[in-house]
Every structure is written in structure tokens, then in C-alpha cells.
Amino acid sequence: MINFRDITLADKTWMEPIYRKSSYRSEEYNFNSAYIWAEALCYRVAEMNGFLIQKSDSYNRPSYLYPPGEGDVKPVIEAMMQDAHDCGHGFLFFCILEEQCKLLEVLFPDTFQFWQNPDFDDYIYDAQSMITLSGKKLHSKRNHINRFKSEYRDWAYEPITPQNMPEVMAMSKEWLTTYDEPDNKTFQYEKIALDRALGDFFNLGMDGGLIRAQGRVVAFSMGDRLTDDIYLVHVEKAFIDVHGAYTLINQQFAEHNAANFTYINREDDSGDSGLRKAKLSYYPVMRAGKFAASLKLKDS
């Protein structure tokens, strides 16, 4: 069996370069994303032949991420298959990209069956469009921001710092309490991930920003680089009853942190219809479609 272990902050030094060399456009190929979600989704990692192997034991079904790295990936995937066999469970890839599906078909002809789950597709936007909100399609977004600015004339955007982090944490706690969904497993996982992101924010080296209105933090966001041309937004929270707060933190965070990137990846919608509607309302220029793959059943 592969010697998997829990992800720690120390793993950033070797995991991040492998992710970045591969330049895959989905959120799974980013150290901060992996670390933030590691506890909630039971991620464990190992290194083999210059490749990063990642396994998840969430949802009571062990699965693997397509291994990023350089060189001959076939023996690495074969080792992953053997690991599944030795552990006594089926072999399953999660959140693999279309290009990776094609590579698997070349390396292992007629071995895998694939299916897509749109709930996990990443939404990718034109960065300048998210910053300027120009054009007829985004007219309503500009109206939301104008209303916010007229109601809260003392508003301000601030980077997250050690000085204002306690206020961000307090807002996060209030947000989680206000909008808690005890029976929603995805929401409960998100609570764990958000606490981890805030607790290790400065050690992870992420960008962060907040919106202050009437002296109170009403929205905040966090992100970092995914590839040379894509910026990844990990977290975005705002109070729903503060009209325009979500729209403004979206625009301001992009302006202050993603201006030098071509695209912004705002991750998936996890099957939430409200979140899907909100993400589509910004008109993504592409989607990072994700698939699952399992071994085909052999004829007896």
C-alpha cells in the first residue's frame, strides 16, 4: 500500500511546485485548497517518482485525484490501483478533468468508465470583466454596488491583516451561526474548511480582503494564484441582509488581487441551486468540467 499521510503546512514546500508545474485549471490542484479542505474531506497525500498522489476518504467512498507531476505517470497510477486493491475497496478517480480522461484512455485503453457531475465544475471568468463589471449583462451588478455605496458612504476595502483578523473571525462566526444548515453535509464541511482557512491564513500566504461599513466588517474574501493566468478565489462571505455586500467584495477583491491575471476561478457550486444561479449571473467564460472514473467491470 502507498504510505499516505495527513497534509501539514510543511508539505507546502514540495506540493505547491508540483501543482504549479502541472498548471491544471481546477481548484483541486492548489495547495491552499487541499490544505483548507483536508480535514473535512479526509485528504491524505504521498509522493512517488516526482508525482503527488492524493486520496480522499470522505463520503465513505475512498477516491483518488489524478496525480500531477512530470514524467511517466503510468506506473504511478498502477500503484494507486494496487493501493485500492490492497485496501479492499474499488478504484475511483474524483474530480478529474477532460484532458486527464483522454490521457487515461491512451494509457489504459478500454479500462475506465467516465461520468460527469456538473455540481463540481469550476466557474472561470474573465478577470477584467469581474473588475469593471462593464456591459449590459452586468448592469444589475453595478446597480447593487451603487446602492451599497449610497447607503454606506463610509464604506472601505481593507486587506486582511493581523490587526483586523479578529474582526474577520468574529464575522465568520456570526455568518456561520446565522446561516447554519445542520442537516446539510456540504455546509458542515464548509464550516470546517473556513475555520481552517482563517486559523492558518497567514501561514498559507493567501491574499485576503474585507469590506467595512459603519465600522463593521460585512464581507470578506480570500484567494491566491492557481496558474500563471488564473487567480483562485477560495472564500467569499457577506451578510445577505446588507444589500450589495456580496457584489462589492467580489469586485473589490478582484480589483485588488487579480488585476494581473487573465481569468478568475470561483470554484464550483456543490449542487446548490442558489449558488449556481449566483455564479451564472456573472457569465463565466468557461467551465472546468470534472468527471469521475472507475474501472470497467470485466466480463466473467
pLDDT of residue 69: 96
pLDDT greater than 80 at residue 60:
no
pLDDT greater than 60 at residue 299:
no
pLDDT greater than 60 at residue 46:
yes
Would you say 69 and 16 are in contact if contact means Cβ atoms under 8 Å apart?
no
Helix (H, G, I), strand (E, B) or coil at 187: helix
Q: State the Rg of the chain over Cα.
A: 20
Q: Which of 263, 277, 242, 269 is nearest to 131 (CA)?
A: 263
171 contact partners, CB below 8 Å, separation of at least 6: 210, 217, 218, 220, 237, 239
Give the strand pairing for 263-265 and 230-238.
Answer: parallel
Mean pLDDT of 171-179: 95
Sign of CA dihedral 240, 245, 251, 257: negative
Q: What average pLDDT is seen over the chain?
A: 95
Q: Quickly state the pLDDT bin for 61 (edges 50, 70, 90).
A: confident
pLDDT of residue 186: 86
β-bridge mates for residue 97, sequence order: 290
Counting every residue written for the chain, the total comes to 300
Question: How far apart are the C-alpha atoms of 77 and 21, rounded to whole Å?
Answer: 19
224-274 pLDDT, tens digit each? 999 999 999 999 999 999 999 999 999 999 999 999 999 999 999 988 899
Concatenated DSSP letters for 129-148? Answer: HHHH--SGGGHHHHHHHHHH
Mean pLDDT of 28-36: 97
Q: Which residue has the cell 491524505?
A: 44
Mean pLDDT of 101-109: 97
Would you say 31 and 12 are in contact if contact means Cβ atoms under 8 Å apart?
yes
pLDDT greater than 50 at residue 300:
no
